[in-house]
Chains A and B, each alone.
Chain A
């Protein structure tokens, strides 16, 4: 394999991986504060892209993106307040089914609102054929945008959870909910906040990836499945592990096509994942003792 081809595959892999990682982090944020997996996570990504595209005719690009992210955060908060907040200690299965239902409803609403056609945001720099050369490989500047924005989000989140008081309160909820309540933290508000946060990062990812991948009403499900896979692979609740697992899966997928037909890509990727899961039932980077403390 030539250096050029290697770099080309690598960048393709990092692009997929960065997007998977962001969705997986969204899963983890909500999982940490509530112990539930929000299958509507992929729909946040879809909404970010679709709303910003609809807003674009009325305002500059960055304003449209900012507003779209805010609106999606609001939507995330509403979902939590209307459907989740008032449930008394719901079981895992019940929550899986409710969030799947929300995901289906959001998608169908998007279909009837925006129609079945695909759209995309314009490229932030240049257009569809602008490229930059790196080590002989050529990639779109938008790829760098995606990687940079995803990287910044990860950085922001780690600072947020470690250095701000709100972030630390959220972490406290994750560690021990009852203890957090006893310390005077309003855990319910923390849960709403976690939905807003994960909707926000999902929506932002949806905006930056839109020029490359296009946005359509039905992109959410696929992303949710990949994000869930990555979250599990990394070990549920561990956002940094999700970044590692996301990049690993993305790069694995990109390089896999040099040996197997593209059509079998997903089958291969998931088979490997299952094998990993059987050997390490709590994810690649998760520890079984930590997982044992969590309620499933």
Chain B
């Protein structure tokens, strides 16, 4: 029951915020809250890799970009010139293609968004799996280098390939219909439903991750973070768990990439840049390495503020500053500080029982 409480609080919070923006006529905040939710989805996935499996990944923007770019490319490349080819006919026969008109009235034939979305996520998951087998054998700085290298390769590929639009990226990506009446799209009129889609995805993601952490796998994960040798000696196959978690987090990143790309109607190479990966790692660190909720909260707050441009030209500088201060004075994340005492003082409640969250805190 206690485990469900924070999730229930989150759901209430999501609804309250939406209602509040409605009452105060400030619905525009939902735009950035929607975008921030997708970034947070990636961040909670990365949090499990870093905090629970103890593996650093400086290349998670790469998975986000694979998701976003593959889906964007498939739904925008016009196949009309090849419509007589056998492959294209076969795809069409399976109902994977949609015909239509672009905004200039020319006929287009593209891959259906739902098919493109699945292809993108599968693509990112497979890449993570193939990459994860050798990479996760590395340790420490070598692991950091390998994941950083992966991120750079993806960045270079999208920046140099004509199919991915080189420096301009891909624009005019169509909306992604999920269910009848539920479409991922940045249209002003669909703001509320997209807010709920994004936060719905995030909540589902959180439920999945919580279950993972509390499962047998999860206990094994915690043991990896503690001591790999000890875990191995008790018969836990750490390599398999690490790989599983790595692939899962890549899938989270890819899903976030796909949805945000369809929401924004485009994607650019900056989404694949090293700075983005560094940012994600840093947000996880600031939230507290093994704090799923900390990562979630910091992911939402920092992305929300950054996307609203509150830091102006000092965006990176403020970010670097927060990073250093947190890492120097609160290496276990902002939530490991004595908020508990603070809030207790604030609400003057007594008889509070300690929760389990503390137990999974760990120094990297």
Picked from A102, A107, A277, the residue with its CB within 8 Å of the CB of B145 is A277
Chain A residues with Cβ under 8 A from B319's Cβ? Answer: 104
Stretch at the interface among B32-40, B173-181, B323-331: B323-331
Interface size class of A (residues with CB under 8 A): 35 or more
Please tell me if the beta carbons of B324 and A281 are within 8 angstroms of each other in the complex: no
Cα of A37 to Cα of B150 in the assembled complex, Å? 19
Q: How many angstroms between the C-alpha atoms of A94 and B336 in the bound complex? A: 15
A92 contacts B by Cβ under 8 Å: yes
Which secondary structure dominates chain A's binding surface? Answer: helix
A60 adjacent to chain B (CB < 8 Å): no
CB distance from A22 to the nearest CB of B (A): 19
Query: How far is it, in angstroms, between the C-alpha of A294 and the C-alpha of B156 when the chains are bound?
Result: 33
Residue of B nearest to A95 (CB): B327
The answer to whether B152 and A270 have CB atoms under 8 Å apart is yes
Q: Are A92 and B141 in contact (CB under 8 A)?
A: yes
Contact between chains at A273 and B323 (CB < 8 Å): no
With a CB–CB cut-off of 8 A, which chain B residues contact A228?
145, 148
| Chain B binding surface SS class | helix
Q: What separation, in Å, do the CA atoms of A109 and B321 have in the docked complex?
A: 11
The verdict on B267 contacting chain A, using a C-beta distance below 8 Å, is no
Cα A92 to Cα B281 in complex, Å, equals 13
Complex Cα gap A271–B321 (Å): 33
Chain B 276-310 interface mask (CB, 8 Å, partner A; 1/0)? 00100110010001000000000000000000000
Asked if B149 and A273 make an inter-chain contact with CB atoms under 8 angstroms apart, the answer reads yes
> Which residues of A (63-103) have their CB < 8 Å from a CB of B?
83, 87, 90-94, 96-98, 100-103
A236 & B149 in contact (Cβ 8 Å cutoff): no
**CB–CB A94/B324 < 8 A:** no
Interface residues of B in 118-177 (CB under 8 A from A): 134-135, 137-142, 144-146, 148-150, 152-153, 156-157, 159-160
- Tell me if A105 and B160 are in contact (CB < 8 A): no
Complex CA gap A264/B158 in Å reads 10
**B363 within 8 Å of A by Cβ?**
yes
- B275 to chain A: which residues have CB within 8 Å? 221
Closest to A90 in B: B331
Q: With both chains docked as a complex, state the minimum distance between the C-beta of B106 and any C-beta of chain A, in angstroms.
A: 29
- What's the Cα separation between A90 and B317 when bound, in Å? 23
Chain B, Cβ-Cβ closest to A221? B274
Asked if residues B138 and A94 are in contact (CB atoms below 8 Å), the reply is no
Q: Does B56 contact A (CB under 8 A)?
A: yes
With an 8 A cutoff between CB atoms, is A225 at the interface?
A: yes
Does B109 make an interface contact (CB < 8 A)?
no
- Rounded to whole angstroms, the CA-CA distance of A101 and B285 in the bound complex is 12
- Determine the chain B residues whose CB is within 8 A of the CB of A109 once the complex forms: 317
With A91-B363, A101-B282, A274-B146 in contact, is A236–B327 under 8 Å at CB?
A: no
Complex CA gap A98/B274 in Å reads: 16
Which positions in B face A, CB cutoff 8 Å? 50, 56, 134-135, 137-142, 144-146, 148-150, 152-153, 156-157, 159-160, 274-275, 278, 281-282, 285, 289, 314, 316-317, 319-321, 323-324, 327-328, 331, 363-364
Q: What are the 6 closest A-B residue pairs judged by CB atoms, nearest first?
A: A296-B140, A104-B320, A263-B160, A108-B317, A101-B323, A91-B364
Cβ contacts A to B, 20 pairs, < 8 Å = A92-B141, A94-B327, A94-B331, A96-B141, A97-B282, A98-B324, A101-B321, A101-B327, A104-B317, A104-B320, A108-B314, A112-B317, A221-B274, A228-B145, A232-B141, A236-B142, A263-B160, A270-B153, A277-B142, A296-B142
